[in-house]
Amino acid sequence: MAGSVNKVILVGNLGKDPEIRRTQDGRPIANLSIATSETWRDKGTGERKEKTEWHRVVIFSEPLCKIVEQYLKKGAKVYIEGALQTRKWTDQAGVEKYSTEVVLQGFNSTLTMLDGRSGGGGGSFGSDDSGGDFGTERAVSSAPRRAVAAGAGGRSNSDMDDDIPF
Amino acid sequence: MAGSVNKVILVGNLGKDPEIRRTQDGRPIANLSIATSETWRDKGTGERKEKTEWHRVVIFSEPLCKIVEQYLKKGAKVYIEGALQTRKWTDQAGVEKYSTEVVLQGFNSTLTMLDGRSGGGGGSFGSDDSGGDFGTERAVSSAPRRAVAAGAGGRSNSDMDDDIPF
Amino acid sequence: MAGSVNKVILVGNLGKDPEIRRTQDGRPIANLSIATSETWRDKGTGERKEKTEWHRVVIFSEPLCKIVEQYLKKGAKVYIEGALQTRKWTDQAGVEKYSTEVVLQGFNSTLTMLDGRSGGGGGSFGSDDSGGDFGTERAVSSAPRRAVAAGAGGRSNSDMDDDIPF
Amino acid sequence: MAGSVNKVILVGNLGKDPEIRRTQDGRPIANLSIATSETWRDKGTGERKEKTEWHRVVIFSEPLCKIVEQYLKKGAKVYIEGALQTRKWTDQAGVEKYSTEVVLQGFNSTLTMLDGRSGGGGGSFGSDDSGGDFGTERAVSSAPRRAVAAGAGGRSNSDMDDDIPF
DNA sequence: TTTT
DNA sequence: TTTT
C-alpha cells in the first residue's frame, strides 16, 4: 500500500543463544528470542508485579547474521528495529498455525548491541548493502538482494518447512 | 526487566470497520485490523509485486475507544503506537493457540487519524488519563487505571473467553 | 559511540514547496519545512490552544530528492524518519550560529507520502542504494556513497556557506 | 495540526552529570546532554572515522526529574523518547538565537536506564500522572498538568530568562 | 479485509 | 562532555 509504515522497536535481552540456520541455497537466517518486561506495583495488594513479553526476531541478512554469530549470546542486551510479519505454517499434526515475528531485513532494519559483555563491544549495524564509504562497522554489507527479496516477498516453503514456531 | 522497550509504530488503513466489545464490567475494548504493505518490482521478471501485512490492534482505553467508535471506519488511515503482546488462547476444539497483537494501553500509546474522510478530521490522541489542562482533543481521558492494569497484567479469562483470534 | 541510536519520526505537512539545491559537484540536497502541531483545551480559560513546531528536514540522497521534486509540494503530508544533526554556521555578520536539522541520509532513513494530493499517489521510499530486486518504487537507488558520506561526515564549507538557516 | 507526530528516540550516554533547576514556582526541570555517535571506515584512506552528535534533552516532569537526580550521572546510558522543540532566546548581547531540544513532557515521553552502573539498576519510566495501579517504578506520577501545559505551550520568560542554550 |  |  502506498503510504504505510510497519516498524517495531525493541530493547531487550536475549533469552538464549542465537540460533543460526541456513536455507538450502546457503543463506543464513538468525533467530533471536528477546524478552522485554514491565514492572508495576499492584495498587490493591501492593505487591510488585512483572510481566515479560517474549519476541521472536528473525534476521535475513548475511552480515547481520555474522554479527549475531560473533557477538550475541544469551543475556545480551540489544536494540533492534524491524517489521512485523505474520507467517502461516502447518504443524506435524497438519494443524494450521500462525506465528508473528519481528523481521530484520533490507533497509530500515537495525541491530545495536547495548552492553559490553560481548567481546566486540557495542556497535550499531544496518542491513543495507552499501559497501561505499562505510566500512564493516557502521553499515555491514548485506546479503545479495535476491536473498533479501526472497525473504521479504515470499519465503519459500522448502526453506521454511522445518521452521518450528516460537 | 529493567531497561526494556517494546514499541510498535504502524501507519496503515483499516481493513474493516472497528469492532468494539465490552468486558463484563463494562469497559470497552476496540479491535482494529490494519493493513500495511510494501511494493517492489521483481528484478528478474520485472513484474510489480506487493505484499500486505495485516495487524491486529487492540485498544484498552475508554476515551480511545470512543474516538475509534466516532471517527474510524473501514479504509481510514491511522498512525498508531503501541506494544507487542502475544496471548495464548484455546479454540473450540481445545487446541492451544497464540495470537500476537499490537496493544494500545496506558502511557506511550497513541492513535492519530491521518486522513480527512472521517467527519471529525484528523487528530491525535494519547491514552493517558490526565484530564488536567489538556482537553478532549489532545489527551483524552482514559479508562480507570484498574481497567488498564487488568488489561496489561492479566486479561482475565472471563473477559476473553469469547475472543476469536485474528 | 558503540551502541547508540539517533532517530526522529515525524508526520506532518510541508509548510512550503521543497527547495532543491545542488552541491558544486552536482549532488542534490532537498530541504523541507515540516509542521507538526498539538492542540489542547486550556483547563482554566477553556479556550482551544494550538502549538505548531516547525522542523527543518534535509535530504542527502539523489533518489529521494527526485521523489521530493516530483511529488511533494506545499501542504503535502509525509512520514519521515531520519536523524538529528546540529550544524554550526556563520552568518553574514560573522556571528556563529547553530541549526538543528532532521537529516535523511543513508540507511534507516525513510520518506513516505501520506496523502493523495500528489500526482503520483502515496508511496514509501528508503534511501538505500540497493538496486537489486527492489525497483524504483520501494527502495530507490541512492546517491553514490561517497556523496552520502561527505554529507554525513563533513558537509564542506564550500557547499554550505550559502546555507541560510531555518 | 490534526494528524501529526513529533517523536525523537535516542540511545546514548550522558556527557556530564544532569543539571536540575527549578522554576520560580518550584517545579524541577532537568537538562541532560546526551551523545550519540556513528563510526565508519573511510573507503579511500581506510581510516576509522567517528562522528558524535550531542543532544540537549529537557525534562519537564517532577517524577522523571527525581529519577534523573537519583540514578543518572555522567556516562550513564539511556533510552529516551520525547519530542523536538525549537526555542527562541536572546543572549546577553541582545542577539536572538534558537535552540532545538528534545523535550520529555506529558504522555508519550519515556526515559529508560540501560546500564547497571546506577545504584538503582535499569528501569523504565513514563511521564504520565496516572497514579492508579502502577507504582513508582513503572509509571511515576508526573508534575501537575498545569506545570506540564505551561512547559509545553509557553515556557514563560521569567522561568527561562536565565536559560543558557546548549 | 485496506490502500495505491 | 559520553561511549567503544
Of C21-30, C71-80, C145-154, which range is least confident?
A: C145-154
What is the rounded average pLDDT of the residues D19-24?
Answer: 96
Lowest mean per-residue pLDDT among A28-32, D8-12, D78-82, D115-119: D115-119
Alpha carbon A63 to its chain centroid, in Å, reads 13
Among A81-85, B133-137, C79-83, the minimum mean pLDDT is found in B133-137
Q: Is residue C142 predicted with pLDDT exceeding 60?
A: no
Judged against a pLDDT cut of 70, whether residue A83 lies above it is answered with: yes
Segment D89-99, tens digit of pLDDT: 998 988 889 99
The sign of the dihedral angle between the CA atoms of A26, C128, A65, A102 is negative
Q: Are strands B48-59 and B96-104 parallel, antiparallel or unpaired?
A: parallel
Is pLDDT above 70 for A122? no
What is the rounded average pLDDT of the residues A135-145?
Answer: 28
Q: Is the pLDDT of residue A98 over 90?
A: yes
Q: What is the model's pLDDT at position A116? A: 63
Is the minimum distance from the CB of C122 to strand E below 7 Å? yes
- Distance from CA(C113) to C1'(E3), angstroms, rounded: 12
Sequence-ordered alpha helix ranges (H) in D54-165: 62-71, 145-153, 157-160
- The yes-or-no verdict on residue B162 having pLDDT over 50 is no
Q: How far apart are CA B7 and CA B121, in angstroms?
A: 26
What's the gap in Å between the CA of B20 and the closest CA on chain A? 23
C107 touches C127 (CB < 8 A): yes
What is the C-alpha to C-alpha distance for residues D140 and D62, in angstroms, rounded to an integer?
9
CA terminus-to-terminus distance, chain D: 28
pLDDT tens track for B71-125: 999 999 999 999 999 999 998 989 889 999 999 998 789 999 998 644 445 677 7
**What is the gyration radius of the CA atoms in chain C, in angstroms?**
17
Question: Between residues A60 and A107, which one has the greater pLDDT?
Answer: A60
Q: Residue A166: which pLDDT band, with cuts at 50, 70 and 90?
A: very low
Cα separation, C111 vs B11, in Å, equals 12
What does residue A66 show for φ and ψ, rounded to 5 degrees?
A: -65, -45
Output B18 or D163, whichever has higher pLDDT: B18
Q: Is D110 part of the contact surface with chain C (CB cutoff 8 Å)?
A: no
Is D127 or C42 the better-scoring residue by pLDDT? C42
Q: Residue D10: how many CA atoms within 13 Å on its side-chain side?
A: 31
Res. B70: pLDDT tops 90: yes
At D142 the pLDDT is 29
How far does the CA of A137 sit from the C1' of F4, in Å? 11
In chain B the domains, ranked by start, together with CATH numbers, are 8-113 (2.40.50.140)
CB-CB contact of A148 with C132 (8 Å): yes
Cell output for D47: 581510516
Chain D nearest C-alpha distance from C130 (Å):
18
Residue of B nearest to D146 (CA): B133
Amino acid D33 CA to nucleotide F2 C1' distance, rounded Å: 9
